Structures are given as C-alpha cells and as structure tokens.
Amino acid sequence: MDQMSAGRVALISGGARGIGRAVGIRLAEEGWSVAFCYRTSTAAAAETASAIEQTGRRALPVACHVGEWGQVEQLAERAYAEFGKVDILVNNAGMSPAVPSHEVTEQLFDSVLGLNFKGPFRLASQVAHRMKQAGGGVIINVSSSGALMPLPGVVPYSGAKAALNAMTVSMAREYGPEVRVNTISAGPFLTDISKAWSPEARERADNALGRPGRPEEVVTTALYLASPMSSFTTGAIVRVDGGA
C-alpha cells in the first residue's frame, strides 16, 4: 500500500457504475476507503461495495439523487459522519439524453442541468469548504468532450458540462491553495453505458486514436490528479478523449 494513500477517504458521485465505479475500485486497491452514491441501481451498488471491500478497504454506498440539493447535503454528511473527513471528491454523476432541441421539455432541461451541474456544484462547494478548513483536499470533476466540441441533439448536456468546466477554474481560485480542483474531460469509454452502443461504436470512434477508451485509461488520470504528483496542477481541464 502507498503510504500517501493509507487512511485516505474518497467520495464519488455516481460511483456504482461506469467511470465512477472503475475509479472507486482502483482507489481502494491503492489503499483508499470509498464512499459513493447511486440513485436506483441497488444491485450494482452492492456489487461495487463488495468489490471495494474485497481490497480490504471500507465502502459506504449511499442512495442519492445528485440533482437534489437536500440529498447532496445528506450525502456529504454521511461521508463525514462515517469517515470523519473526505480527501478527494470525484464529481462523476451525470446523464446525456440525445433529444432534438425543439423537443426538449422544461422538465428534461432542468433534470439534465440539475444532475450535471447544479448538484455537482452544491456537492463540490460543501466539500471544498470543509477541505479548506481542514487544510487540504482534491476535487475532480468528470466532464465531457461534448463541452469543448458540442454535438447536435445534446445542447442541455453540453451546456451543463461547459458550466462544470467553468466551475473547476473558478473553484480552484476560490478554495486554493489548500484545495486543488481539476476536470477530466472524458471521451467515449467502454463502461456499462457502452452495452447499448452498436458493435461498430464499441470498436471505432471519431477521434485521433480511432477507438473508444478502456476504463483503465481514464482511471490512471484520476490517480494522477488525486496524488501529490499533480501538486502544481489545479484549475486544469485534462482531456482524456483519444484526441477528439
């Protein structure tokens, strides 16, 4: 176990599946205890918690709708009550429904912005404040290449992720130097969501590398941003998108 990781605590939103799950399990392998939230995927949450605990570290799964401020605040309270601190927050929860702009309802618009920006803002602000008071911490926001190179049919999602990118830069200045805040701008990855893709989409992508990424290829970036090796990196948007 890395001595820099011993006793550390991570809080991950959307941690039962996808990138959040991959990051949580790897952090546990590196010696971190992991609190994570999920919305409705109880079975996936139990499986992820079991995988974390098999590493010998503690897991705390918490049901939470990240788009609701009250639930987000309760999530933070649960993590601090259980572990006494949070050393790293990974704002990973999100959704990206593809709907023609003229068919987007107000309810869908609010839901997409709530999950991808409003909730992450509240969670990051509450945790960053406590981290600064405690003398240090790291926040990693998981964004999307769609914020930098927006595609048609996902305007609310692209806008919310662009706001998340702006939040990263602003909070890095607001809560630094004690708290470092960075963004992973992720491209397509072969996580649970890719099971709904066509066979071609799982093999090829419109990027410089010509393929989607494997989960371990984004996990390494999260480990770097969580570690002292990135001590001079904050307010950064790190593209992990295969050259989109």
Read off φ and ψ for residue 223, nearest 5 degrees: -65, -40
* Catalytic annotation, pick one of 38, 80, 157, 175: 157
Q: Is 14:38 a contact under the CB 8 Å cutoff?
A: yes
175 noted as active-site residue:
no
Residues identified as active-site: 157
